[in-house]
């Protein structure tokens, strides 16, 4: 008899976000679901962890028949707490993060709490996937994404992932997604500005704004896929070593003469 997989569901939009409800419903068709999510939105937290204050972890009963916990910490804290306190070192078969309200393509993977939760899952040797959708609205319609979410998760459960890797999956806002493109991360960045304002006490404060700057016209990128109606699937690794730069650096002279 085939064993039913256990699936950890996390996010960065908070435990009551519509996107996590969609992800929970999709994963319930594939296995036993355990949810650990922040008690409030944590977008843009990246791989932050909580070290200067206590963490809370409380059982909640939002959706029937689903084991759920809310945490006062970051998305990465949620994964750490799940592994250490809920699973007690016994790893789930899959970790899925999302579905995020807003894309996490190209450079956004660095800033994303959604993806950082999935990265933490991969660091813990759990096959992990982050899912994001191009709609920030609270009433976002995720229905076009659901078949692809289930398909990707099922494939990961079936085949596993290479050690040290995870998947970053993004969905365009469209009634009909054309399919999935396996892509590379586009070369893009945010051209950032800080809008300077005054508070009621006439003190300066700053609000981060900016425009997305695409420096990549390749047709094999996540940005191209999304622009053309496809879901993008980018394999991601948490080893940040620039391996191609090592031979060049080995030609430098780092010898220091003893005095």
Instruction: Tell me if 200 is assigned to some domain.
Output: no
Instruction: Tell me if 213 is assigned to some domain.
Output: no
How many helices (H) and strands (E) in the chain? 7, 11
- Cβ atoms of 171 and 131 closer than 8 Å: yes
CATH of the domain at 62: 3.40.1210.10
* Domain encompassing residue 155: 6-185+219-240
| Largest Cα span, the chain | 71
* Residue-level pLDDT at 89: 77
pTM above 0.85, yes or no: yes
Cα(206)–Cα(200) distance, integer angstroms: 14
- Cβ atoms of 76 and 47 closer than 8 Å: yes
Cα(191)–Cα(46) distance, integer angstroms: 19
Instruction: Tell me if 18 is assigned to some domain.
Output: yes
- Cβ atoms of 142 and 22 closer than 8 Å: yes
* Residue-level pLDDT at 251: 93
Listed in sequence order, the residues at least 6 apart from 123 whose beta carbon sits closer than 8 Å to its beta carbon are 238
Total count of domains within the chain: 1
Instruction: Tell me if 254 is assigned to some domain.
Output: no
Instruction: Tell me if 245 is assigned to some domain.
Output: no
pLDDT tens string for the chain (259 positions)? 678 999 999 999 999 999 999 999 999 999 999 999 999 988 888 899 999 999 999 999 998 889 999 999 999 999 999 999 999 978 999 999 999 999 999 888 999 999 999 999 999 999 999 999 999 988 999 999 999 999 999 999 999 999 999 999 999 999 899 999 999 998 887 777 888 999 999 999 988 887 877 888 889 999 999 999 999 999 999 999 999 999 999 999 888 776 6
- Cβ atoms of 214 and 186 closer than 8 Å: yes
* Residue-level pLDDT at 194: 84
- As given in the structure block, the two tokens for residue 226 are 């999304």
């Amino acid at each position: 008899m085939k064993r039913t997989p256990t699936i950890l569901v996390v996010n960065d939009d908070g435990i009551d976000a519509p996107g996590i409800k969609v992800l929970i419903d999709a994963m319930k068709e594939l296995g036993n679901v355990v949810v650990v999510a922040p008690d409030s939105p944590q977008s843009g937290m990246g791989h932050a962890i909580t070290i200067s204050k206590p963490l809370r972890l409380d059982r909640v009963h939002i959706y029937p028949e689903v084991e759920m916990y809310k945490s006062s910490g970051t998305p990465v804290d949620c994964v750490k707490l799940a592994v250490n306190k809920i699973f007690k070192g016994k790893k789930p078969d899959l970790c899925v993060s999302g579905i995020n309200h807003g894309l996490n393509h190209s450079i956004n993977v660095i800033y994303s709490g959604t993806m950082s939760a999935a990265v933490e899952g991969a660091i813990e040797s759990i096959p992990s996937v982050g899912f994001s959708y191009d709609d920030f609205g609270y009433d976002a319609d995720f229905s076009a994404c659901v078949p692809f979410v289930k398909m990707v998760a099922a494939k990961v459960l079936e085949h596993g992932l290479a050690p040290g890797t995870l998947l970053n999956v993004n969905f365009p806002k469209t009634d009909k997604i054309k399919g999935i493109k396996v892509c590379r991360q586009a070369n893009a960045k945010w051209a950032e500005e800080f809008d300077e304002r005054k508070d009621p006490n006439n003190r300066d404060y700053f609000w981060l704004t900016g425009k997305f700057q695409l420096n990549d016209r390749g047709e094999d990128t996540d940005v191209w896929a999304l622009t053309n109606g496809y879901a993008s699937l980018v394999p991601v690794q948490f080893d940040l070593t620039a391996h191609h730069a090592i031979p060049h650096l080995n030609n430098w002279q780092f010898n220091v003469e003893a005095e």
